[in-house]
Amino acid sequence: MAGLYLLTDAECKAAKPKNKVTYLNDGGGLRLRIHPNGSKTWTQRARFAGKEKNLGLGSYPAVTLTIARSKAQTNRDLINQDKDPVIIKRTQRAALAQRSTESFGAIAREFFKHNEEEWSATHYKRNEGLLRRFLLPDLARLPIQEITEAYLFSVLKKAYDAGTKESVRRARALAAQIFRFGKDTQRCTNNPAKDLAENSYFKKPQVKHFTAIAEEDVPDLVHQLNLTGEAQRLQAETACLLKILLYTGQRVSATIACQWNEIDFEKSLWTIPAQRMKNRKTHVVPLPRQAIIALKQLRGMSIPHGDGFVFRSHSQSGHLSNNAPRLALHRLGFTVTAHGLRSLITDVLNEAGFNRDAVERQLDHVEQNQVRRAYLRTDFWTERAEMMQWFADWCERDHRPSNVIQFKTRSH
């Protein structure tokens, strides 16, 4: 076309600013605008529906002379088809914005925000870690609708082959929830993660579970936890944490973030807020005499204040970690997990003939039978308080096998 392509790249580069805006013309309405501050931008003069428009095409040199000419020609083609380049550009921007909200990463963020209030802090943190480590690096920017089962398999297989087998299986389950959320909010139609649930490649790894601590070893554990001074191999906070886990049967995740204002020393009870409970309901726990003594001893060593953590540490969270009880037990010579203490309590109390419902309520287990759960509304407080005091006393007795048969007696 006559009158086009009047500029060279060297001229664009050499153009110097003046004390007012100046232009270099390339023809066909395309111009390089030089601002007094030295910046350079491309503009295009065009007429559509009888009106003159100035179309911005970007900044030089990010938008080269060649790219600017291509954009200008695209606009001329649209005008020849009776299409307004300004309206087309706005529509494209809107479509791009729409696609950005349909990426896997954006939908994952929505999914987490949607469920944040219902998830415990521990559950949220665990899921966030799975998302960050195994899913976002490869999926974050992809439109969720375009993620295929084959591609998701390749992403998970890479991490699975690297040895993080169980974490990858959990990441797949989390991805399935995110895709389900995407379907429910009309951003995708398929759930490739769900289709991978039965994939034979992702075998469930054989996990070696540590058993619950043997009953005859419990007095030795209590003895070691009660040691003081140089004889005590654990930090005061860690030893007290193990005692509270043993004497209450609560989950590690609910216990490590315990705060002083949750403890009522006069009434010998501990109120765990709903956000730390697996069932998302406030749980009130009776504290036997031994637990109260341990907490008072720890309080005397620290400077507690209203919302201060009981089991403090210098970690980012401000309290002991989930791994602290397990590592402490191993340090003392007991190759068990902290969860094994809950198993111990269940076995001992059931074998001793305590009310199964009271045991389950103490451990915050949910009754699986929906009909029975609807009628089982009592918290068994009096029975639980007596039961846990009996158990704390039991922990201090010698349980080594003997030829003498002993029978437990207790008041009803």
pLDDT digit string, tens, across residues 333-382: 998 888 889 889 999 998 889 998 899 999 988 655 554 444 455 788 99
Cα–Cα distance, 311 to 328 (Å, whole number): 14
Exposure b/e, 240-253, CB count within 10 A at least 16 = b = bbbbbbbbbbbbbb
Mean pLDDT of all residues in 315-326: 90
Please give the mean pLDDT across all residues of the chain: 86
Mean pLDDT of all residues in 246-272: 94
Q: Provide the pLDDT confidence category of residue 307 given band limits of 50, 70 and 90.
A: low
Indicate the domain borders of the chain: 9-98, 104-195, 215-395
Cα–Cα distance, 113 to 235 (Å, whole number): 37
| Contact by Cβ (8 Å): 4, 26 | yes
Distance of CA 178 to the CA centre of its chain: 13
Exposure b/e, 381-399, CB count within 10 A at least 16 = b = eebbbbbbbbbbebbeeee
Q: Which helix (H) or strand (E) holds 69?
A: helix 65-80
Q: Provide the pLDDT confidence category of residue 300 given band limits of 50, 70 and 90.
A: confident
Compute φ and ψ for 106, nearest 5 degrees: -65, -40
* Residue 223: predicted pLDDT: 94
Structure tokens at 251: 């989950």
Q: Who has greater pLDDT, 3 or 252?
A: 252
Mean pLDDT of all residues in 26-36: 93
Separate counts of helices (H) and strands (E) for the chain = 18, 7
Q: Provide the pLDDT confidence category of residue 152 given band limits of 50, 70 and 90.
A: very high
Give the residue among 161, 139, 157, 138 at the shortest CA–CA distance from 196: 157
Q: Can 9-98 and 104-195 be said to share one CATH topology?
A: no
Global pTM value: 0.54
Mean pLDDT of all residues in 289-293: 96
The CATH superfamily label for domain 215-395 reads Intergrase catalytic core (1.10.443.10)
Q: Provide the pLDDT confidence category of residue 410 given band limits of 50, 70 and 90.
A: very low
The CATH superfamily label for domain 9-98 reads Integrase, DNA-binding domain (3.30.160.390)
- Report the CATH number of the 104-195 domain: 1.10.150.130
* Residue 408: predicted pLDDT: 44
Mean pLDDT of all residues in 236-241: 95
* Residue 205: predicted pLDDT: 74
| Contact by Cβ (8 Å): 55, 49 | no
CA separation, residue 358 to residues 154, 231, 245, 390 (Å):
48, 37, 17, 13
* Residue 305: predicted pLDDT: 54
What amino acid occupies position 4?
Answer: L
pLDDT at residue 306 above 60? no
Mean pLDDT of all residues in 108-133: 90
| Contact by Cβ (8 Å): 28, 68 | no
* Residue 317: predicted pLDDT: 84
Compute φ and ψ for 30, nearest 5 degrees: -80, 130
